[in-house]
Structure 1
Amino acid sequence: MTYATATNLLDQFGAEEIAQRADRGTPRLVTSAMLATAAAGGDLSGYTPAEQDATLAALAVINDRLLDADSVINGYLATRYTLPLAVVPRMVRLIACDLARHALYDDQATELIMERYKQVIRQLAALAKGQVNIGVDVSGNRPMVNDAAQMSATQPVFRRDPGGFI
C-alpha cells in the first residue's frame, strides 16, 4: 500500500505540471488529460500507440517516485509507528506528494519546491521524535480521532441492596 497515488499527486500539483516532469521523451507526447486518464485506470485507446507508450512510461516514473517517497517516509515513521499504517493520514499523503514532486524535478527543482522538500523533511523528523501527531496510535493500527475512555464492570455500581451507593 502506498501513501499516495498518482491521482493524489495530479490533484495536489496539477496534471499539467506533473505530465511535463514525468514525460522523459523527446518530443514530449504526454498531456495532462492523457496522464489523468492513465492514473485513473482509464482507456487510452483513443491515442496513438506512441502516445500510449509515453503515457504509461510517465505513469511508471510517477509510481516509482511515489514508492521512493514511501521509503523515505517509512524510514522516519518506523522509529515510532508500526508499519504499514492501516489508515493513511492526510498529512502523510501530502508529505508523500511533496517528496514525489521533488524527486520528479531531479536536479532542476525550483526554490519553492526545495523549500517544501525541506519542510516535509522537518515534519518527518518531528513525527519520528513524537513532536507531531499524525492521528494514529504508535502501533499504527487505528485512528486516534474520537477516542474516548471506556469503563466496564461485572456488577452494577448503583443498586438498592446493601453495598450499593443508593
Structure 2
Amino acid sequence: MQYASVADMVDRFGEPEMIQLTDTENLSAVQPERVQLKLDDAHALADGYLGRVYALPLKGCAKPVGGVGVVEYVAPPQLKRIVCDVARYYLYTDLAPESEVYRRFKVAASELQSIADGKSRLVCPWGGEPGDSASSGPAAGETYFEFAPRRIGRDVDEDYR
C-alpha cells in the first residue's frame, strides 16, 4: 500500500515548491520520478517503525465510497501526512534546523517513534484498524532460544581441560 503519492505531495505543499525541488532542467513541471524516489524512501522509513507494531504491508483504512458497503482501502490520514513531511524533507538538500520543513520532519519522526513504542497508534477515521498486529514473535524484552540436544563424549570433553 502506498501511504502517499506524488499528487498528495503537490496537494499538500503546492506545485511551485515541488517544481522548485524537482525540476533541475527548467521544464517548469514537477518531475514525478524524483518525488516518487523520495516518497519510496519515506515509505521505507515509516515501515521500519510501523513494522514493530503492525504486520506489513498495512491493509489500510476502509474508507466508504459510492454506494452502501463499497469501500476503498487507503492509508490512515495521519500516516499520509507523516510520509509527505518526511519525503519533503528528503527533497531538500540544505536546511537550517529552525526551518519549517526540518521541524515538521522531526515531528513526523517523533510520531513514528511514538507509534513504534506503543505510546500512540494509527487511527482510521471511518472505524476499524489500519492493519493487523505484529504480535507474532517475541514480545518486547523477550528472547527465545532453540537448543538441540547434544551428547558430549570423553573425546570432546578432553579438549576443554
TM-score tier (shorter): 0.5 to 0.7
Pairing partner for 2:49 from 73, 76, 79: 76
Deviation by residue 1:59-100 (Cα, 9 ceiling, x = unmatched): 100000000000000010001101111111001000110011
Paired residues of 2:79 and 2:122 also in contact (CA < 8 A): yes
Identity %: 31
Match in the other structure for 2:114: 126
Supply the AA of the counterpart residue of 1:92.
L
Match in the other structure for 1:66: 39
TM-score (ref. length: structure 1): 0.64
- Displacement, 1:139? 1.1
In 2 relative to 1, CA 59–137 (structure 1 residues): closer, same or farther, beyond 3 Å? closer
In 2 relative to 1, CA 91–3 (structure 1 residues): closer, same or farther, beyond 3 Å? same
In 2 relative to 1, CA 14–71 (structure 1 residues): closer, same or farther, beyond 3 Å? same
Paired residues of 1:73 and 1:124 also in contact (CA < 8 A): yes
Query: For 2:24 and 2:111, how far apart are their aligned partners in 1?
Result: 30
Gaps of 5+ in 2: 61-74, 124-128, 134-161
In 2 relative to 1, CA 122–7 (structure 1 residues): closer, same or farther, beyond 3 Å? same
Match in the other structure for 1:30: 28
Gaps of 5+ in 1: 36-57, 141-166
Query: For 2:2 and 2:131, how far apart are their aligned partners in 1?
Result: 19
Paired residues of 1:2 and 1:66 also in contact (CA < 8 A): no
Supply the AA of the counterpart residue of 1:83.
L
Match in the other structure for 1:139: 132
Paired residues of 2:76 and 2:122 also in contact (CA < 8 A): yes
- Displacement, 1:23? 1.0
Which 4+ runs in 1 deviate beyond 6 A?
none
Paired residues of 1:80 and 1:138 also in contact (CA < 8 A): no
Paired residues of 2:58 and 2:131 also in contact (CA < 8 A): no
Match in the other structure for 1:97: 84
More moved, 10-19 vs 102-111? 102-111
In 2 relative to 1, CA 60–67 (structure 1 residues): closer, same or farther, beyond 3 Å? same
Supply the AA of the counterpart residue of 1:139.
D
Paired residues of 1:80 and 1:130 also in contact (CA < 8 A): yes
Larger relative contact order (Cα-Cα within 8 Å, sequence gap ≥ 6): 2
1:107 maps to 2:124: no
Higher strand share: 2
- Displacement, 1:138? 5.7
